[in-house]
A and B are shown apart, each in its own frame.
Chain A
Amino acid sequence: GGIITQTPKFLIGQEGQKLTLKCQQNFNHDTMYWYRQDSGKGLRLIYYSITENDLQKGDLSEGYDASREKKSSFSLTVTSAQKNEMAVFLCASSMGGNSDYTFGSGTRLLVI
């Protein structure tokens, strides 16, 4: 079976800092996604990528950059962390079309 791994599991940053989150999958899935999960707001799509070197903006892309240099990996950068920001960032992959998503366990971000 495959696995999708997010690193780091926990990330504490300082206001204004640039922070990078990484995601790796070995399912050979074409499409990868980054979602942000806040309490009371559900999952919101930040960026997704339908193939290597492709990037598509989601509804929450402002303040973030993404990179898909290899099919197996998708990274997300918070360009300037906001003070008191606290959220879980979830990476997912899928075969595309109407296939289900496989999610990682998340990176928990706290900005002080």
Chain B
Amino acid sequence: QEKVQQSPESLIVPEGAMSSLNCTFSNSASQSIWWYQQHPGKGPEALISIFSNGNKKEGRLTVYLNRASLHVSLHIRDSQPSDSAVYLCAVSSYGSSGNKLIFGIGTLLSVKP
């Protein structure tokens, strides 16, 4: 059973700073790793995914994956108050019954003006 753990539980950063969120998973053979953003009262929205070791950059977001250490991180450059939300790490588990995502508990990010 895949396990996904996120840290920190909550993070407060000033506007314009870099926000760094961490996620560890238990199965190095997992498929893609996803980051989702969830605002209060809304469903999660997919932000970015990564499959191969290394990094991937999209706009202000950068993701780093190290399968050997079972670790993935999300970095948000120039954080804005609108980035304040819960960030969920999810690991894709693919089997004979299709694909499913296993989610972590999330990191609550607050960006202060």
Contact = CB atoms under 8 A, between A and B. Distances in A.
Interface stretch (B10-18, B52-60, B70-78, B95-103): B95-103
Contacts of B25: none
Contacts, number: 59
A33 B43 contact: no
A81 interface: no
Given A45-B101, A98-B49, A103-B44, 15 more contacts: A42-B104, A43-B44, A48-B100, A90-B43, A96-B98, A96-B99, A98-B31, A98-B32, A98-B99, A99-B99, A103-B45, A105-B41, A105-B43, A106-B42, A106-B43
A25 to B, nearest CB: 12
Interface in B25-75: 31-32, 34, 41-46, 49, 51
Interface of A: 31, 33, 35, 40-45, 48, 50, 56, 58-59, 90, 92, 94, 96-106
Contact of A43 (B31, B41, B88): B88
Interface residues of B, number: 25
Given A43-B88, A105-B42, A56 B98 contact: yes
A100 B49 contact: yes
B43 A42 contact: no
Contacts of A100: 34, 46, 49
